[in-house]
Structure 1
Amino acid sequence: MSNEIIFFGAFALFIILMLALDLGLFNKKDQPVSLKQAGIMSAIWVSCAIGFYFFLRIQGHILHDIQDEAHLIEVVQKNQHNIVLNGTSFEENLIKYKNNLSLEFITGYVIEYALSVDNIFVMVLIFSAFGVKEKYYHRVLFWGILGAVIMRFLFIFIGATLISKFGWILYLFGAFLIYSGIMMFINREGDDEIDPENHKVVKLASKFFPVYPDFVGNKFFHKVDGKQYITPLFLVLLIIEFTDVIFAVDSIPAIFAVTKDPYIVFFSNIFAILGLRSMFFLLVNVIHKFHYLKTGLAFLLVFIGIKMLGHHYLKEWGFTTAHSLYIIIGILVISVVASLAFPKREKTIY
């Protein structure tokens, strides 16, 4: 257990350093994030995730400090890894374990990254509804994503504890994901609207804190005559945090369909979440072009839900983590290609 804590601590330190780089290098002053800056940070975060994949593939045994065959079997059984240890030696079985561990990580990462795109749709609506200036987007998203990291940590490890004690919860997760996918498909053409004055988060925050009526630069708080107010920008931050909680209800169970190892769930989730800010600035002006993406995400949730409900049968049929990854990538590629090949017709106004 001590080795897991050390590994987790080193990962947390790496994330802190990367966030410090992000905040210091690309947010020295309030200004709109350029496409070039967003591209650089997106490339860095994706490269980090790919690098972590190869690290797990080569040194994945370090995570749980696996030293012998008995410990390897214990870890595989505890985390329900979808592999059969039938190698002729400990070394062969360890290689199989590390290959599967890295595949679980990258599959979870792709799932979370894809579902984050739907989050971007909502973020665009939030900023637009509140009239937030583009130069303040980065500040709100940075602190919003930092808060999301903390909340995801709690959700994931609480979820892992519940799953280890009550295995039947996986079936509830599976049914919920199928329901979420069906509802997303039904409402895929709906025009989401956000009412700043009547939003639940705004009403709740207004009961406990006085709200200043106007934006005050990039400030979240503003003091007038000795009285502390929260600004509209802070309300936007609260709504984004609330929105992430809603999305986490779908995305975290989805990754548990791939792996039951809470550390891999956390690593894949966090890499995707940290890349969300830069992806937002890359897609904010073109997100509307991927109109079939919601349909693809709906099919993705249904597939993962079905996989959760039938994981025992799928394992007997030889369905592996790699098969899941191929199907997930296939769904996403088809939805993106279809969006570009069949662009949405603009409504003509006479």
Structure 2
Amino acid sequence: MLIPWLGLVAFIVVSLTIDLRGHGGRPMTPRNALIWSIVWTGLGAAFAILLLVFDSGEAAGEYLSGFLIEKSLSLDNLFVFAILFSFLQVPDSQRLKVLVWGIAGAIVLRTIFILVGAAALDAFHATTYVLGALLAFTAIRIAKSGGEEMDPERTLIMRWLRRLLPLSREYDGDKLFTIENGKRLATPLFAALALVAAFDVMFAIDSIPAIFAITRDTYIVFAANAFSLLGMVSLYFLLDGLLDRFRYLHYGLAVILGFVAAKLLLVDVWHPSNGLSLGVIALALAGAALASMIVERREARLAAERAAAESAPVPTVVGAPEEIDRPQS
């Protein structure tokens, strides 16, 4: 069992290196981002074939369901990353590095979460109900949020970071620390890196219990998390600037988390198939995307009609010509 773990970890390290070095440290163009998004998603889906060949169809189905859950929930991370980069004014030239290193740190921290979670589930059956209740609460919170934007300055993580480390207000190239007036300060680049990793771990508190509802196999859980995170770099550059159009994504995520919460809370009496899980995930995401597109197009059409109405010339009423007064003879 050690060889599959070593092989997967080696692949992840090589993949992150390609993401960081293969693009020369520069932001991806939309075309490259699209190509790499397809590549990473394809590789993530293809891993199910390896499990099918070397393990079983059940393992492949569990992985594919978990991969789709993690991939869909990772979309929410992209909203947060976009807000963080705007808030901290991260230069475009540094965003790729922050994403890659932040995701690398998140993979390590998620691995710890996975191992601890698996041990807790094995030791205490009641942990399943706790995780189910957590996911149900999260689903309700997401549905009621209305997709509102987060203010990074008001987050507990940012307040802790400011207390632990004195932060510089200026960037110093690609340095994480700088010297100002003889004092060693963390740069905003360090803050961005720490926040990307921290917020991803916060999302993991929701997503990892979700995949544990699909399978208890730690290898499959780890693989689904790793492959979903590998594609986030290219997906960010692909969707950057377009994320605000997915206005109903949070409802789709709430449906997915609600379904998974039900699986955990009813684990002793209800055992839905992997096919049903895949269907619910696909329908929730497709429905959220379709609803967003319909509303987006309707608002664009109404805006165009209003603009046309405002720019149209005001018609003049043509009446009978006034009689010309003639002098009386």
Give me the TM-score of the superposition, normalised by structure 1.
0.82
Given candidates 132, 145, 152, the residue that maps to 1:187 is 145
**Distance in 1, Cα, partners of 2:14 & 2:273:** 35
- Tell me how far 1:210 sits from its aligned partner: 3.0
Given candidates 13, 33, 37, the residue that maps to 2:32 is 37
**Distance in 2, Cα, partners of 1:189 & 1:49:** 28
Q: Which residue number corresponds to residue 307 of structure 1?
A: 263
1:203–1:312 CA distance, 2 compared to 1 (3 A): closer
1:59–1:189 CA distance, 2 compared to 1 (3 A): closer
1:133–1:165 CA distance, 2 compared to 1 (3 A): same
Give me the TM-score of the superposition, normalised by structure 2.
0.86
Q: Which residue number corresponds to residue 45 of structure 2?
A: 50
**Distance in 1, Cα, partners of 2:151 & 2:168:** 23
Given candidates 5, 16, 20, the residue that maps to 2:13 is 16
**Distance in 1, Cα, partners of 2:243 & 2:121:** 36
Instruction: State the secondary structure of the residue aligned to 1:244.
Output: helix
- Tell me how far 1:282 sits from its aligned partner: 1.0
- Tell me how far 1:258 sits from its aligned partner: 0.5
| 2:240 aligned with 1:284 | yes
Alignment of 1:202-241 (within 5 A): 202-224=158-180, 227-241=183-197
**Distance in 2, Cα, partners of 1:25 & 1:58:** 31
**Distance in 2, Cα, partners of 1:103 & 1:321:** 6
| 2:279 aligned with 1:326 | yes
Kept in 2: contact 1:33–1:135 (CA 8 A): no
Alignment of 1:117-136 (within 5 A): 117-136=75-94
Alignment of 1:93-104 (within 5 A): 98-104=56-62
**Distance in 1, Cα, partners of 2:282 & 2:234:** 21
1:261–1:297 CA distance, 2 compared to 1 (3 A): same
Q: Which residue number corresponds to residue 110 of structure 1?
A: 68
Aligned partner letter, 1:36: R
**Distance in 2, Cα, partners of 1:283 & 1:231:** 27
Instruction: State the secondary structure of the residue aligned to 2:269.
Output: helix
Kept in 2: contact 1:201–1:238 (CA 8 A): no
- Tell me how far 1:219 sits from its aligned partner: 1.8
Instruction: State the secondary structure of the residue aligned to 2:184.
Output: strand
Fraction of identical pairs, as percent: 32
Q: Which residue number corresponds to residue 135 of structure 2?
A: 177
1:14–1:123 CA distance, 2 compared to 1 (3 A): same
**Distance in 2, Cα, partners of 1:19 & 1:32:** 15
Aligned partner letter, 2:221: V
Q: Which residue number corresponds to residue 77 of structure 1?
A: none
Gaps of 5+ in 1: 61-97
> How many residue pairs were aligned?
301
- Tell me how far 1:304 sits from its aligned partner: 0.7
Alignment of 1:146-161 (within 5 A): 146-161=104-119
- Tell me how far 1:199 sits from its aligned partner: 4.5
Q: Which residue number corresponds to residue 205 of structure 2?
A: 249
Given candidates 259, 269, 292, the residue that maps to 1:339 is 292
Kept in 1: contact 2:20–2:96 (CA 8 A): no
Q: Which residue number corresponds to residue 219 of structure 2?
A: 263
- The C-alpha deviation readout for 1:235-285, integer Å capped at 9, x for no partner, is 111111221121011000000011111110110011001111111111111
Instruction: State the secondary structure of the residue aligned to 1:342.
Output: helix
1:246–1:6 CA distance, 2 compared to 1 (3 A): same
**Distance in 1, Cα, partners of 2:295 & 2:182:** 58
Instruction: State the secondary structure of the residue aligned to 1:228.
Output: strand
- Tell me how far 1:218 sits from its aligned partner: 2.1
